[in-house]
Structure formats: structure tokens, C-alpha cells
Structure 1
Amino acid sequence: MPAGGRPTVRSRRLGAALRRYRLAAKLDQPQAAEVIAAHQTRVSRIETGHVIARPIEIRALLTAYGVEDAEVRTKLEHLAKHSKKRGWWLEHAAHLRPDYLDHIALEDDATYIREWQPVLVPGLLQTADYAKAVISGGPKYVSAERVQQLVKARMGRQAKIEEGGASYSCVLWEAVIAHPLVEADVHREQLAAILAVGKRKNVTVQVLPFSAGAVAGTTYAFSSFSFEAEPTVEAVTMENLRGTSVLEAPDDLAAYADAYDQLRSAALAPDASAQLIQSALRSSKEDTS
């Protein structure tokens, strides 16, 4: 069973993939259970991520499902072997919600990360001071110790981008740049940081201008993740008042992939976006001089 008695994002991804291949082969769970000489309940729990399939079971099931692609088979076996892998973020587990840990695990596994943010600077781009300001300035009281732990975890997440471990693209609504929700000096430092990170080869930052109109209301903030060489969306996360929701249904993934494409197409090009951010930074400095 996955650590903690609950499905991990990796075990769910493995189970969802096996279910897709089973359905494509037009087999039901009792037939799949016969392949691995197990009860139907085991197949059900594997597909929901509550149980991690053994490599020998994965090989047998994929053969029965007609999946001969060596890359696919290796990928799923690798996913099974690492479904309980301890990540760097678990040192912060006592201070983080389980759903937030799921989000971090998705980031850590991803080859492509795409984000839309109409209100705040995304966590992967935040400076420590900005992160501290938005965490402590929220509607719920957060102790100083917990703020410190949350900021530390947020800074840890950024190593994935800094080390070039994923291609990162984000679209920010112009309000994020033009209307700071934090103190002016913190906002200026944050704008400068966005400009610096945006120069990385694996990072693309675009700003959706006010002039784009209603497209900014397409959806609330979300993050999408891909885990292969191609940027096909395989998971989406959204923040809400109750925590982080992870979407994995094909229709949901397609909808958010389309939404991001619309937002990116309506946004300024990266160079023009950098110029807008630079202009906002200059204006902010002039206001204090």
C-alpha cells in the first residue's frame, strides 16, 4: 500500500494508465484479475492507486492488454518502483497538507509545467519575502513557525526550475504586475526576480495584458503537468478554499490544455512581457524617489 495508507499521485498515475489500457483492450476487471491470478478487488485497488502493482503484474497485464511498446512498459514499471519514493519535501510533511504534498510530487516528476495566475506570482517564481508576505497576509492566521516552514518548502520547489529539470511556462495577468498585493519594496524585488528567472532557457514568462479583455476570466489559477518528452497534459491542480484539487480525467485535462493555449495566445510575447515588467519596475522605483 502507498505510504500513509492513501494513494500517492504516482500510484494513481500508474493505476489510471493501467485502467486506460485495459479499457482499450475491452477487458473487464475480472478478466484482468485472471491474468495475474488475483481477486478482482486487487485489480480495482491497483487502478485506484490504493495498491501498487508489482513489476511482474504490470508486465503480465500489459501483455494481456496488447501493449508491446517497450518505452511504455519501462515507464510504468519505473513508476511502480518509485511510487513510494521519499521526496525532499517529506521533511516538511508535518507542516504541509497531504494535497499540497501531491502538488509538489507532481512538480518533482514533471518534464513540463504550465501555470496560469491572475492574482499572485506563482510559487515557482516567488522570492522568499514575497512568499512570506502572501502566506502571512492571507485570511487565516498562520503562526510564524508555520510561515517559515511554508516559505522553506516553496523555495525548495524552485530547485526543479533552477536546475533545468523541467520546462516551465507561465502566463500572468497584468494585474499581478501592475497592482501589488505586498509592500512596494517586496514587489520591486519580486519583479526583478521574475525578469531574472525569465532569462533561463527552460523558462517562458508571458503577461496577459488588460487589453486582452474577457479572456482573463477564462478560468481561475491552475497548474498543468506533463511527464513525457512531449507536453501532453497529464495532471492539473487548482487551489481552492479547501486545499488543492488534482484533476486527472481526460476531459478535464483537455479542457485545461485548451484554456492554457487560449491564454498563451492572447498574452504578450516573452520579450514584450519582459518589457512590460521592466516598465512597471521602473515606475515603481520612480514613485519612491
Structure 2
Amino acid sequence: MAGRDRDPDRGKVVSTVLARRLGGELLRMREACGMRQPHAAEVLAASVSKVAKMERGGVPMRDPDIRALCHLYGETDEVVIERLLALARTDRERRKAQGWWNQYPQLPAMVEYVALEDIATSIRTWQLAFIPGLLQTPDYARAVAVGAGSWEDPSDIEPFVEARLARQARLRSERPLGLWAVIHEGVLRQLVGGRDVMRQQLGHLLELAVLNTVKIQVVPFLAGANPGMIGAFSIVSFSEPAALDVVHMDVPSSTLWLESEEDAARHGRTFDRIARVGLAERNAIALIETIRKEL
């Protein structure tokens, strides 16, 4: 499940997904060689409670500590060690980031995902129900929020819309986020907010599709049964060669993170199969234009 912690230096909410994955791998290594937390604490000249926090992903980890633990646990494969170091570096950079998303305490479920999105280099997303957040117009985002009917305080909807728009800045920034979005045709025909809102939203998709970093495909109704019917998901990727992808899924009761190499690879294969049954980019654009004209 998703995890968050509070940065003691800045008092802000931060994501612990990467740190928990790193801590979990070190925990498995320790247990595999039959050692206990006091052994790790002695090598690090730290307390047992600190080792416990490290294994739970509650604190950032230094490179020397990771190397010391790997040596203690008998791990000598430099590929494995470099992968752990890459995870630690990415986690530390994410913790240092003065993230704009911390301006929105009303949106705790979004904080962790956006924190990762901000340091990601690319995202692959498959959507069955709505336009991906990075591609939504303000009116569409607002209509989605109103339609969900799950807001205890309606005044929180505007911060939600503002956050959606702030996220989109990455698509045109100096370090642009690569986005590959595969969308079901039903999403394009669902009148979220009414005809005018949808016409504007589809026009926005056409505008973004010309960006070199944005790729949009559509799975048409004619594709019939397809691998994407299992549900929507996003795969977040990072620049470090050793950093594993993270899979993000929203379920009714919570936000689900899949952090293992196996899960990332399985969803990557599923995404590729979905993309293969989707229309080629030029044909997807033509379909979006047709639907927009119909409105």
C-alpha cells in the first residue's frame, strides 16, 4: 500500500515508496543470511531502532551504510549494490525536493504519487474511465471531481483542479516528462461535464499530441476483449539505469503501489499488449478529431 512520512527537517509530507523498497530489499538480504537487526546496528554504529526505521523506509539511507550492510550480508554483486545505491540516491533527491504538491494538504492521497511523478522521467498509463490527469483541462478535471461525489468539503475541489494543472507543467518544462497514454475509446465519448467541456478536452488532447514527449493511443471499441480490461494502471519510470519501475493503481478503498521487479515487468508486458491492440498514433488522432466534430 502507499506509504507516507513526514520530513523532520521541513515538516512536510514525503513519499516513502522508494525508501520502503530499498529497506525491504536490505531486510530480505539480512534474513536470508540469518542475521538480526543488532548485527546491522553494530556495523553501522547505530541503534537497533534506526535499523528498524531504515528497513521500513522511514529514513533516508547513506551510500556508505548501504555498502556496509551489503558487505555484512555477503552481497558482492556490484550490479545489485549499484541498484540499491541508485534507489537511495533517487529517494534522497525526492526528499530534498521543495515540492509544490505540499501546498495541498487537502489531497493526501495525491501527495505520494506526485512526489514520484516529479522525479520520474517517463510514465506509461492505461485508462479505461477518464482522461489521464496530465492531459485534463480544468473544466474536465472539475467535472470529474464533482461526478465522483466523494468530497466531504466541496471547497477542496478547486485545490484538486489546481494540482492537476500544476502537474502538467512537467510536459513542457526544461526536463520534460515523457508520457505515453493509451485511452479507451469510451473515455473519449463519455460526456464528462457536457458537450462543450468534452469538445474543449478533445481539442486539448490534439494540442498536446504534437509534443515530442507525448504519445497518445486509443483502444477502439472494435478491439473487443483486450488485456486492458483488467483495470487501469500507470507505470512510473526513473532515469537511473538501476532504478526499478513503480506501478500505481487506484482502487476503491486506497491507492496501491506495486514495487517489485516482477510486478513492474508484468505490468510492462501488459501495457505493451494493450498498446498493440490500440490504434497507431495518427489513427488515434484522426479518431479524436472525428469524435470532436461529432460534438
Task: Quickly name the TM-score band, shorter chain normalised.
Answer: 0.7 to 0.9
1:283 Cα deviation (Å)?
A: 1.5
Mapped to 2, the partners of 1:159 and 1:63 lie a distance apart of: 43
Which residue is 2:161 aligned to? Answer: 151
Amino acid at match of 2:168: Q
User: 2:126 aligns to what?
Assistant: 116
Distance 2:31 2:170 in 1: 34
Please name the residue that 1:56 is paired with.
64
Alignment deviations for residues 228-255 of structure 1 (CA, whole Å, 9 cap, x no partner): 3669862111112223222213333233
Shift of 1:161: 1.8
How has the CA–CA distance of structure 1 residues 77 and 138 changed in structure 2, closer, same or farther, with 3 Å as cutoff? closer
Within 5 Å, give how 1:232-271 maps onto structure 2.
234-271=245-282
Matched, 1:137 2:155: no
Q: Distance in 2 between matches of 1:268 and 1:225?
A: 23
1:175-194 → structure 2 map (5 Å cutoff): 175-194=186-205
RMSD between aligned residues = 2.9
User: SS at the partner of 2:101?
Assistant: helix
- Any gaps of 5 or more consecutive residues in structure 1? 285-289
Q: Which amino acid aligns with 1:270?
A: E
**1:127-152 Cα shifts (integer Å, max 9, x gaps):** 01110111112232454421110000
In the TM superposition, residue 155 of structure 1 has moved relative to its aligned partner by 0.6
* Pair 1:74–1:249, CA change in 2 (3 A): closer
Q: Is the 8 A contact 2:235 2:248 kept in 1?
A: yes
Q: Which amino acid aligns with 1:113?
A: I
- Compare 211-220 and 270-279 and name the one that shifted more: 211-220
* 2:226 alignment partner, SS class: helix
2:103 maps to which of 88, 91, 96? 91
Alignment match of 2:209 (pick from 188, 198, 202): 198
**Partner of 1:11 in structure 2?**
19
Note closer, same or farther for the CA distance 1:63–1:153 as it changes in structure 2 (3 Å cut).
same
Query: Whole-Å Cα distance in 2 between the matches of residues 158 and 192 of structure 1?
Result: 16
| Aligned residue identity for 2:141 | A
Please name the residue that 1:287 is paired with.
Answer: none
Q: Which moved more, 1:172-181 or 1:160-169?
A: 160-169
Query: What is the aligned length?
Result: 281
Find the partner of 2:287 among 271, 276, 284: 276
Cα 1:80–1:190 change in 2 (3 A) is closer
TM-score between both structures, scaled by the size of structure 1? 0.84
1:103 has 2:109 as partner? no
In 1: Cα distance, 2:163 partner to 2:179 partner: 18
Contact in 1 for aligned 2:23/2:56 (Cα 8 Å): yes
Stretches of structure 2 lacking an aligned partner (at least 5 in a row): none
User: Taking structure 1 as reference, are residues 124 and 83 closer, same or farther at Cα in structure 2, changes over 3 Å only?
Assistant: closer
| Deviation for aligned residue 1:221 | 1.3
2:137 is the alignment partner of 1:127: yes
